Amino acid sequence: MATKKRKRKELFALGNEAVVEGALLAGCSFFAGYPITPSTEIAEVMSQRLPFVHDGVFIQMEDEIASMGAIIGASLAGRKTMTATSGPGFSLMQENLGYACMTEVPLVLVNVMRGGPSTGMPTSPAQGDVQQARWGCHGDHPIIVLSACNVQECLEMTIVAFNFAEKYRTPVILLLDEITAHTREKISLPFPDELEILARVAPAMPPEWYISYEETMRGVPPLPPLGSGYRFHVTGLTHDKNGFPTSKPDEVKALMYRQFRKIDQFFYDIQLVDEVQCEDAEIVVVAYGCVARSAELAVHMARERGVKAGFLKLKTLFPFPKSALQPLARQCRTIIVPEMNMGQLSREVKRVNNGLAQVQTINRIDGQIITPSEIFKSIMQA
């Protein structure tokens, strides 16, 4: 082929800035948020960029509850929407996040984790919101939680987050941490034509035939924008397939089961992991976020000493990537899970491991990253 090799545009960007680049490439045209360290740059850069996007809107709301309300409203009006926050704000967002789960409104919520609980350590990294991301809003609900460990991944996983949100008609949480968000690295911007950008399913039928929460093959009902002639009702109450409130057990069951099914049956599409030197590994380190970088380095160090170590990086945290972990649990002797919390994801690892391998945890909650040498030491002792 005689086509000239195109050179991708390169940037020296913060993780937070890369999130914005990813969001804009994914078609995000609406951002509502409230400033909070260490996520603030996302809002600031959005306020700069969105006025230059066709119909782009940036709005600073009065709090994080309002930010969630605004992006849900805008998403219902047909926009791809996003907000960004950190611990205290994430707690405030849970109420309307639950609403988005119940009403199946696509949106992306970026939570840059810092030390907690409460005001905690605003400028220090942590991974303490992992289980809150899974279960923070009340009631049973499926949710997709993703993470990223470097600046290029911040861009890529933001695009994935938007695609999953639209494809599965669900809120998607992107969990970052202070280190990943505030690291400045060289990244390359993909050309728009290199990307697969998904749009939400639009109704194929005329308004008279449209049933807003109809059961479909994929379990994902089409969602037209408000004001497009499809007049329907949206409510956080349990609803029947027409969207109207119901508490009839058979109708409630159908609604809730469909919501779980639409995520569960596409588990293999949603489960994203990277495996490094796992083929013959006897010791596997499972990590995500900034700790993943320490873990990868520690595994290389161990290999240099002839230890059969491998690394499983989780990019999808929930639904938990069980089918990536299970074969490794069968194969290896020890699984090491380093996390900057008291063991929030290692609970999932232990559940899936189910006694197969020995699971060790390395936990830190003092605002310091778990270093490669700490992990290396554990590998060598395992």
Partner 1 sequence: MAQVTELIHNYLRHNKKFPHVYCAGCGHGIVLGSLIRSVHGLGYSKDDIVLVAGIGCSGRMAVYVDFNTVHTTHGRALTFATGIKMANPKLKVIVVMGDGDAMAIGGNHLIHAARRNIGLTALVLNNNIYGMTGGQSSPTSPEGTVSATAPFGQLERSFDIVDMAITSGASYVARGTVMHVPMLDGLISDALEKPGFNLVEILTPCHTQYGRKNKFKTVVDMYTWYKTNTMKRELYAQKSPEEQQKLTPIGVFRDEGWPGLETRYAQLRTKLQEQESCQSSAN
Size of the site for partner 1 (CB under 8 A): 45
Which of positions 80-109 make contact with partner 1 (CB under 8 A)? 81, 95-96, 99
Quick one: which segment of 111-119, 234-242, 295-303, 363-371 binds partner 1 (CB under 8 A)?
234-242
Residues with Cβ within 8 Å of residue 166, at least 6 apart in sequence: 80, 106, 198, 199, 200
Is 235 an interacting residue with respect to partner 1 (CB under 8 A)? yes
Quick one: which segment of 4-12, 74-82, 186-194, 303-311 binds partner 1 (CB under 8 A)?
74-82
In the complex, the smallest distance separating the C-beta of residue 51 from partner 1, rounded to whole angstroms, is: 5
In the complex, the smallest distance separating the C-beta of residue 168 from partner 1, rounded to whole angstroms, is: 21
In the complex, the smallest distance separating the C-beta of residue 262 from partner 1, rounded to whole angstroms, is: 22
CA-to-CA separations, 211 to 34, 199, 221, 250, 265, in angstroms, rounded: 35, 20, 8, 18, 22
Instruction: Report the residue from 14, 34, 79, 298 that binds partner 1 according to the rule CB under 8 A.
Output: 79
In the complex, the smallest distance separating the C-beta of residue 259 from partner 1, rounded to whole angstroms, is: 18
Task: Report how far residue 154's alpha carbon sits from residue 193's, in angstroms, rounded to the nearest whole number.
Answer: 19
Instruction: Report the residue from 9, 10, 12, 63 that binds partner 1 according to the rule CB under 8 A.
Output: 63
Buried b or exposed e, range 105-143, using 16+ CB within 10 angstroms:
bbbbbbbbbbbbeeebbeebbbbbbbbbbbebbeeebbb
Is 229 an interacting residue with respect to partner 1 (CB under 8 A)? yes
Is 225 an interacting residue with respect to partner 1 (CB under 8 A)? yes
Tally of CB atoms within 10 A around 264: 13
Instruction: Report the residue from 27, 69, 171, 310 that binds partner 1 according to the rule CB under 8 A.
Output: 69
Output Rg (C-alpha) for the chain, integer angstroms.
21
Is 226 an interacting residue with respect to partner 1 (CB under 8 A)? yes
Quick one: which segment of 18-26, 123-131, 227-235, 253-261 binds partner 1 (CB under 8 A)?
227-235
134, two tokens: 């899974």
| Cα torsion through 380, 322, 176, 376, rounded to 10 | 0
The residues with which 175 forms a beta bridge, in sequence order, are 111, 147
What's the angle, vertex CA 241, arms to CA 257 and CA 108, rounded to 5? Answer: 65
By the criterion CB under 8 A, which residues form the site for partner 1? 30, 32, 51-52, 55-57, 59, 61-63, 65-79, 81, 95-96, 99, 225-229, 231-237, 242, 244-245
